[in-house]
Structure 1
């Protein structure tokens, strides 16, 4: 038996209870990992509250983490016992040990630290697919990225700048704006003090943006659409402020023949080839120094509920990890 955060009923952060669970032995194609840390993400909140449905109850939350392989099942050749690995899209990473499919892990190169990888996989690979595949960002592209000081936002700002884009962000305080400006953003708008639609128009001389990346949801809709130029793309990939209302698609026509998409990381990393390409692209920009992962907060496993409270209250910046030691 090992320690784990076990959810026995849906609800607020208080349902995150420290308990014990047997992670089991790895079967064919699986590995067992002794975890160093797990990453904290809003998707964990969605599963805790029931907005997203878990396959079973009780369950251990968490979708990303990193650690050391302690046992490998039959037919595993990509990694070996003692290797450092990281993963996104796993289940139950709020635990000391986890069994995970070997084809959904990436072996860590020497230039990437284990705790950094624990909090970078889901957020970093999200930034990768958003900037390189949902919309191919490059020189001449102007983007707006909401929640610029969040975990995905700080990675995306640096990566988009590395790709040559003009990068505009939004954040909710002067401190968060300064943080985003230090991580690749050319302009950051404090949405509590300025109308971000008017400010985007001013920054771009009325041309507006090619693409808006929106993980906020209810609070930024439909104003995000007003930041797009004709035939621009609205990428809604989260809903930290609440669920979006039902949308009449005619609004896309009314606001300039816009495009809209609701992607997810799992839709972009369904195959081993896609997963490896995304992970290796992330490791490359980290090793190059083009993207630096800011671990803003660390919580021990037994304080997972506090981590959720701070995340939902928007008291976190950058990447947050839950540590097992």
Structure 2
């Protein structure tokens, strides 16, 4: 098969497009011909070695495609099924092996590309709004990087739950995308905490922050007493250590650093969140904005564009 292989961590040039042995199957596995693989910042962290993996490896943690073969213990899936997966390494390839327990059937009305685009970001947006902080009608919610793939999904799902969404973006073009997704107010990053206070009076109920170092302090300052700071990523770099006393001084705030693994810890959780997402996509309640599709061979360019913030919405690799 053809795949992207990382033999040494580093910049985008570490992503090498090459021939690679087909993945080996175990009895509970499914072999899939990949139709699309999602590109996410966690792939960048893996490439850089920030989240180390054993070298060499094929990056990529989400995708969708067609079942090519099933292991002898697999009963839920059959050859020809359209399926999707997340949190399984090795998706930047023409073929991938996924344990059946991690696999989801893609229903009619949802394309393989849309399914690939929501396996990490959609699942994350779901647990953030339904479990980490359960958004309620009338809540004020602050969403950073609202024109990115994650931000657009978070904005839409928060609106489905009845929130007023305050979004941050960096350009006028991105503001248009955030408003199309339903954002009620759109701010630039400079001085956003003061603007949030002016809009809300006492601050927001929750901040969904995947940016990290450059937004963290103002995100904390944007919260109302007993508000929730959900730091789910660090696109701008890790947040320095903080004194927990700050949380007391700001009004008994809550701070959490959630990750997807702990919110799809059971098959029931995984399929339940997927059912909501697929249902919303099929009905048109949730729009998946795929802004860039790159051939698999151009994975390095996809990473460059993602890191330089030249992309909006979701980025996919097409084998």
Normalising to structure 2: TM-score of the pair? Answer: 0.98
What whole-Å deviation, never above 9, does each CA across 1:103-155 have from its counterpart, x for those lacking one? 10110001100011111211111100001111111202110011101111101
- What is aligned with 2:88? 90
1:172 counterpart (160, 166, 170): 170
The answer to whether 1:298 aligns with 2:293 is yes
The answer on whether the counterparts of 1:159 and 1:184 sit within 8 Å (CA) in structure 2 is: no
Q: Equivalents in 2 of 1:23, 1:266: separation in Å?
A: 26
1:188 aligned counterpart, secondary structure: strand
SS where residue 120 of structure 2 aligns?
A: helix
2: CA distance between counterparts of 1:151 and 1:22?
A: 32
- Which residue of 2 is the match for residue 13 of structure 1? 12
Match of 1:269 in 2: 264
Query: How far 1:184 moved relative to its partner?
Result: 1.4
CA offset at residue 285 of structure 1? 1.2
Q: State the TM-score, normalizing by the size of structure 1.
A: 0.97
Could you say what the CA RMSD is over the residues aligned between the two structures, in angstroms?
A: 0.9
Partner of residue 108, structure 2: 110
Q: Separation in 1 of the partners of 2:156 and 2:79?
A: 34
Q: Contact conserved, 1:174 with 1:190, CA < 8 A, in 2?
A: no
8 Å Cα contact 2:23/2:95 also seen in 1: no
Deviations 1:158-211 (Å, cap 9, x if unpaired)?
Answer: 1111111111110111110111000011111122xx41011111111x121000
Q: Deviations over 1:216-265 (max 9, x none)?
A: 00000211001000010000000000111012211111111100100011
Other-structure match for 1:248: 243
Report the Cα offset of residue 27 of structure 1: 1.0
* C-alpha contact (below 8 Å) 1:87/1:104 kept by paired residues: yes
Q: Is the 8 A contact 2:3 2:58 kept in 1?
A: yes
Length, aligned pairs only: 319
CA contact (8 A) 2:210 2:231 kept: yes
Q: Paired residue for 1:37?
A: 36
CA deviation string 1:61-86 (max 9, x = no partner): 00000000000002111111110000
The whole-number CA distance in structure 2 between the counterparts of 1:226 and 1:162 is 26
CA–CA separation in structure 1 for the residues paired with 2:24 and 2:44: 28
Secondary structure (helix, strand or coil) at the match of 1:169 reads strand
For 1:166-315, list aligned pairs within 5 A.
166-191=164-189, 194-204=190-200, 206-315=201-310
User: Among 318, 321, 324, which residue is 2:313 paired with?
Assistant: 318
CA distance in 1, matches of 2:22, 2:98: 10
Cα distance between partner residues in 2 of 1:260 and 1:24:
40
User: Is the Cα–Cα contact under 8 Å of residues 26 and 71 in structure 1 kept in the other structure?
Assistant: no
CA contact (8 A) 2:141 2:164 kept: yes
Deviations 1:276-309 (A, max 9, x none): 1111111111112111000000110010000000
> Which structure 1 residue ranges, 5 or more long, are not aligned?
none
Secondary structure of 2:276's aligned partner? helix
Indicate if the aligned counterparts of 1:35 and 1:95 stay in contact, CA closer than 8 A: yes
SS of residue paired to 2:83: strand
